[in-house]
Each structure stands twice: as C-alpha cells, then as structure tokens.
Amino acid sequence: MELSGVIMNFSILSFRFARTASLFQCKVPKYFCTCSTLRKEVPKNLKGKSKSSQEWLIRQMKDPYVEKARMSNYRCRSAFKLLEMNDKYNFLAAGQCVVDCGAAPGSWTQISVEKTNSLGSRRNEAIGRVIGIDCLSIYPIEGAILLNNMDFTSKEAQEKLLGHLQGQKVDVVLSDMAPNATGLKFMDHEKIIYLAYNVLRFSVQVSVVEGTMLVKIWDGQEADVLRKDIKRYYNNVKIVKPNASRSDSSEKYILARDFKGLGT
C-alpha cells in the first residue's frame, strides 16, 4: 500500500475513533474480558440473587465448555474459541511473536504460549514470544510478558508495548476485548468497533508482512465498514463464529491474514 494511501486511511480511522468516543463523552471507553474467570465451586443456593445473576449461574452450570476449561487448566471457556479457530485456520505456530490485547484472565495467552513454544519446552522447534495486556490484573503466566492495569487504547500502553517489542515485528495480534455492556445494542456496538479500530491501528504499525490479526466484534451496522477498512491492509479477511461462542451471543471474530505491509 502506498504511503499516501496509508495516511488517508489513518485519517479515516482517526475520525471514527473521535466520533465513537464522543458518543460516550469520554476519551477512551473501558473494556473488559467477556469471559468470567472459572470458579472451582458453583454456588448451590441461588436465593437472594438477582434474576440476571441466577440466569448466569445456571448457564455456567450447564455450559460444557466451562467444565472442559477447568479440566484442561485453562482460565476461561474462551480458550476453546481460539483453539477452534486456530485448528481450522492454523495461524498460530512455534517461533511466532504474539500480542494478546485485552488478555485477562489469560486463556488466550495460555494458548499462545503453548502454540508459539515461548517456554521452549519443544526443543526441536523455534521459541516464540507472547505479550499480554489488559486494564485488569492478570495472574502470571509462565512464558508470557504481562502488562497489567494498562488500557490498551492509551498512549502509555502503546509505548510500553513498543518498548517490550524493541523493534521486533509481530506475527499475530489477538483481541478478545469487549466494552462494558450497557444493554443498549447500538451503543455497545459502537464501543466495540472503537476498540477494534484501535487494534487495527496497532496491528498495521507492528505486524510483519503476511501477519495475522484476530479481533472480536458484535453485530451491527458498522461491522461491514470495519471489515472493508481491514481489507485495505490484509489480503484475506473472514468473519468467523466458532462453535464455542454461545448461540445467543452476537459476537463474531474478524480473522485478517496476509498483511500487505505499509511499504507495498
């Protein structure tokens, strides 16, 4: 992509960042990992809890991925979303550099450590590197660098990430980030699109040519605009909904592969 085209596209992205942020009268919307940390004991007594809390607990009890994650020592059921997508599209491999945006509680980081061999446990394979960042605290994960209590969208966080990369290009940028839901579909959609554009902006600055970006979105009118913007930078862009995603969830993932690079 020509440099002049890149400047124009970043202007478009910046406009969308500003427009979306203005909707919430804040500089940067807060985000969280939509997967709840697994509990070893499920409360048996629902008395006194709100209806929404009761529904959540009952859903957790019936969800096979919750127990499966616990048995596999993953911190969250969302691990199986990433595993499923990677099994199908094979974008994680030994020796890669991976950045996990909105990493808490750490299940995607756990998968990344395994797939990239960042611990060096497979001696005959290349050793990768994994960096996770979240505005929440993440319990340490061996084989990963974790940036806790840092808002990925902030300038400070971006500088911190670049400092840890030390000029190294990133093979895969992952994002399972989502905003705190208000229950208003339009507003929640705008918030998650804002986060996705931040991930895109970061990705095009740090990714290796032919690199991959995987970012979560929710259904809405801006999703197709985002997909088209991503196609400016990546040759292969797909909308993916893994089976591990709950059937009543509007979440989908945009899998962008084969980054074109900024100098092409």
Question: Which residue's structure tokens are 């809405």?
Answer: 220
The whole-number pLDDT of residue 9 equals: 53
Strands 234-240 and 251-259: antiparallel
181: DSSP letter: P
Catalytic site positions: 216
The neighbour count for residue 259, using CB atoms within 10 Å, is 24
Structure tokens at 52: 């929404």
The whole-number pLDDT of residue 140 equals: 97
In terms of C-beta density within 10 A (0-12 exposed, 13-18 middle, 19 or more buried), how is residue 227 classed?
middle
In tens, the pLDDT along 207-227 reads 999 999 999 999 888 999 999
Mean of the per-residue pLDDT values of the chain: 83
pLDDT tier at 23, thresholds 50, 70, 90: very low
Structure tokens at 225: 């605009």
Please state the rounded mean pLDDT for residues 82-111.
Answer: 97
CATH architecture for segment(s) 3-36+77-259: 3-Layer(aba) Sandwich (3.40)
The whole-number pLDDT of residue 129 equals: 98
Percent of the chain scoring above 70 in pLDDT: 72
pLDDT of 54 higher than 80: no
Alpha helices (H) along the chain: 3-23, 51-62, 64-71, 79-89, 107-116, 155-165, 185-206, 223-230
